[in-house]
Amino acid sequence: MNPIRSMLRILGLKLLAFGPKDQYEGGQRWSPRRSYLNGFVRDMRFDADAATRWELVRKSRYFERNSAIYNRIIDVWEEYTVGPSGLRIVPASSDEEWNKRATEYWNAWQKMCDIGTRQSFGTVQSLVARSWAVDGELFILKTYGKDRPDKPAFPRIQLIETHRVQSPPDEFNAPDMIDGISIDKNGRPIFYSIKSGIGTGEKFELVEAEDVIHVFEPSRPGQYRGLPVVYPVINDLHDLDDLQILEMDAAKEAAKTTSVIHTATGEIEEEALRRARFGIGGTSGTSGGSAQERSQYYEDVFEGRVKVLRPDDKYEQFQSSRPSVVTQAYWDYLTSKVCAGIGISKLLVFPWSMQGTVTRADLDVQSAFFRSRSSVLISAFTQIYEFVMWHGTKSDRTLADPPADWRKINVRPPRSVNVDVGRNSSAMIAEYEAGFRTLEGICGELGDDWREVLYQRGIERAAAKKIEKALGLDEGELIQAALEAIKSRRLETPEPARQ
């Protein structure tokens, strides 16, 4: 074979080896054009072990206490997952009379639901939602209050924070104990290890899993503990906090410098250094001689503060331009990134004017997001309802002999995020008249019980009818006049301009 042709063939094979390949570029372990990603493929229990999870919780709690942005995000989370008064649970069994009695019993229990009898169930719901977001999880212990003589104890709940559930030191590496949760051979939790006390007085108690409600939302199969919602962007939040501190330090330093003097030589003269060294004239840097006299002379003439400079000296007022426009833009980018990483729209954290259709689309996405998060809480609160009402059927005569479907309830997420309440209300009314929606569904979104709405409307109409008859008014005239007054009041209030 021709030696030149043979050499070209070998060279071609080598070029082919380093040339384009039929492969997934992202599947290459390393590339000279990109940084190495420090990650492994393994079970979730090893990716988020106790030490990693504790560090994430520590940082999340710090920023919830000290970051206005993160605190606002958690407020929005709390507001739209449980609402201002908590999720409303309404009994919905096939027996309407039993539902009424169950509602009275449930409402009475909600007033003092926790073991310390200090919080209402609405407040507890807010604590659950907030702790879930900040810590990534919360444990609810189903327990009972103090025993009373000859009377049964009332059912109560106790909130357990994430750091109180941990493996005992002697069982930290036990194969059936995963970060404070004891599991069986199928991976099902059977006990939770709950720590009480502090320091030398701490002790661990194994609580049966059926008595514990674990509020968290796993992101991977085989995940036993929750992670704070900020975990994907916690370093970005940290960077944002550091940048603000550094820029503030620079701004404070710049504020101390008000004036700058440029000398002809660019340095302090030897004569001035000598005066400062020996403190001639009782002051630093001046002999107390003619320079002061000249300054005093001009101040007397011009009636103001006058500084007399040496020949060729140049005076400038110092001005600071920090933070720069570029830095502010980067702050805004990091803020947007933090909001996106958590799943909260930046529009809810920092409201600003946007085009109407874009805003509606953004808020519609948020509504779906919060409904998904509310479903996790609904599942937990449903277990609480069943625990309380089961006790009621055993101890309260009015709830004896419950229907077979006594566990059935209606729970609706809080009112959706929206930009146009009137438009949405009109749409709901049209859907109701067309038969596509029910009164129970509409009232549920508003946090009301449809039975109470109908009953209240009946009371109002009966009272109006009685007054109309006494005053000789036409039937329906009083309510119609009230509605017209409300409409006129609404028309007098100008609506905000839309963009």
Task: Give the whole-angstrom CA distance, residue 405 versus residue 370.
Answer: 29
Across the chain, what does the average pLDDT equal? 82
Neighbours of 114 (CB within 10 A): 19
Mean of the pLDDT values across residues 161-185? 88
> Of 128, 145, 131, which is closest to residue 86 (Cα–Cα)?
128
For the chain, the distance separating the N- and C-terminal CA atoms, rounded to the nearest angstrom, is 78
Structure tokens at 309: 């400079």
pTM: 0.75
Which of 241-255, 273-287, 289-303 shows the lowest mean pLDDT across its residues? 273-287
> Of 127, 122, 184, 90, which is closest to residue 440 (Cα–Cα)?
90
The more confident residue out of 285 and 317 is 317
220, 223, 228, 232 alpha-carbon torsion, rounded to 10°: -40
Mean of the pLDDT values across residues 262-280? 60
pLDDT value at 374 more than 70: yes
Mean of the pLDDT values across residues 51-68? 96
| pLDDT score, position 26 | 83
Amino acid at residue number 171: E
Render pLDDT for 291-325 as a digit per residue (tens, 0 to 9): 666 566 656 655 666 566 666 666 666 677 778 88
- Sign for the CA dihedral angle at 434, 439, 445, 446 comes to positive
The more confident residue out of 486 and 392 is 392
- Sign for the CA dihedral angle at 206, 207, 210, 212 comes to negative
The more confident residue out of 461 and 405 is 405
- Sign for the CA dihedral angle at 333, 339, 345, 349 comes to negative
Task: Give the whole-angstrom CA distance, residue 29 versus residue 19.
Answer: 17
| pLDDT score, position 208 | 95
Mean of the pLDDT values across residues 437-448? 72
pLDDT band at 255 (very low <50, low <70, confident <90, very high): confident
DSSP letter string, 236-289: HHHHHHHHHHHHHHHHHHHHH--EEEE-SSSS--HHHHHHHHHTGGGSSS--SS
The more confident residue out of 418 and 41 is 41
Q: What is the domain partition of the chain in residue ranges?
A: 44-229
Structure tokens at 219: 């992101």
| pLDDT score, position 21 | 61
Mean of the pLDDT values across residues 82-106? 90
pLDDT band at 285 (very low <50, low <70, confident <90, very high): very low
| pLDDT score, position 317 | 67
Task: Give the whole-angstrom CA distance, residue 292 versus residue 456.
Answer: 86
Contacts of 349 (CB under 8 A, 6+ apart): 69, 72, 73, 76, 335, 339
Amino acid at residue number 156: R
Which of 4-13, 65-74, 470-479, 481-490 shows the lowest mean pLDDT across its residues? 4-13
Task: Give the whole-angstrom CA distance, residue 341 versus residue 73.
Answer: 11
Task: Give the whole-angstrom CA distance, residue 139 versus residue 141.
Answer: 6
pLDDT band at 497 (very low <50, low <70, confident <90, very high): very low
| pLDDT score, position 496 | 42
Render pLDDT for 178-194 as a digit per residue (tens, 0 to 9): 999 999 999 999 999 99
* Range among 161-175, 222-236, 480-494 rated most confident: 222-236
CA angle at 188 for the pair 182 and 194, rounded to the nearest 5°:
30
Render pLDDT for 327-361 as a digit per residue (tens, 0 to 9): 889 999 999 999 999 999 999 999 887 677 788 88
Contacts of 73 (CB under 8 A, 6+ apart): 338, 339, 342, 344, 349
pLDDT value at 268 more than 70: no
Amino acid at residue number 6: S
Mean of the pLDDT values across residues 426-455? 75
Alpha-carbon 461 to chain mean position = 43
The more confident residue out of 216 and 152 is 216
What percentage of the chain carries pLDDT values higher than 70?
75
> Of 163, 134, 131, which is closest to residue 60 (Cα–Cα)?
134
Mean of the pLDDT values across residues 61-66? 96
Contacts of 435 (CB under 8 A, 6+ apart): none
